[in-house]
């Protein structure tokens, strides 16, 4: 079961986000696809990231002279990436829709931590498109 009696997500699940796709004054509908993470999964992802960089930092201790740079750097990077993963509630995978200019269907890859609005181009006619969350 993916949710408790209080509606809290216990496992990651695919979700969709409606989008408005704009070109000039024309607007069409689109969809962004993402994976929503439960709190315990976000914690595990953050711990794995932090632990991996911490282990690399500990291993870097044996490198003469360079360990003065690598060890603190890896510890800081691990902490920063761990916090970013902890705060990432959903990870975007791709968006799809129809180009308002050429009327052809398209699918675009999205960054995992995508923020909207996003400016992009139609892969068919190279029209400038603006993707906005609805």
Tell me, rounded to whole angstroms, the distance of Cα 91 from its chain centroid: 4
Per-residue pLDDT, averaged over 18-47, amounts to 94
CA distance 67 to 90: 35
Strand residues in the chain grouped as ranges (E)? 13-23, 26-36, 90-98, 105-109, 118-121, 128-133
**Is residue 133 a contact partner of residue 114, using CB atoms and an 8 Å limit?**
no
What local confidence, expressed as pLDDT, does residue 3 receive? 46
Is the whole-model pTM more than 0.85?
Answer: no
Question: In which band, very low, low, confident or very high, does the pLDDT at 1 lie, cut at 50, 70 and 90?
Answer: very low
pLDDT higher than threshold 80 for residue 69: yes
pLDDT (0 to 100) of residue 115: 85
Task: Categorize the per-residue pLDDT at 2 as very low, low, confident or very high, splitting at 50, 70 and 90.
Answer: very low
- Tell me how far apart the alpha carbons of residues 72 and 62 are, in angstroms, rounded to a whole number: 14
């Amino acid at each position: 079961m993916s949710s408790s009696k209080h509606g809290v997500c216990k496992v990651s699940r695919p979700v969709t986000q409606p989008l408005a796709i704009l070109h000039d004054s024309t607007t069409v509908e689109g969809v962004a696809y993402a994976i929503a993470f439960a709190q315990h999964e976000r914690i595990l992802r953050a711990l794995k990231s932090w632990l991996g960089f911490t282990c690399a930092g500990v291993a870097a201790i044996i490198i003469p002279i360079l360990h003065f740079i690598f060890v603190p750097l890896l510890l800081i990077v691990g902490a920063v990436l761990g916090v970013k993963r902890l705060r990432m509630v959903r990870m975007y995978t791709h968006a799809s829709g129809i180009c308002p200019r050429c009327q052809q269907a398209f699918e675009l890859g999205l960054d995992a931590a995508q923020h909207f609005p996003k400016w992009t181009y139609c892969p068919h006619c190279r029209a400038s498109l603006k993707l906005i969350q609805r």
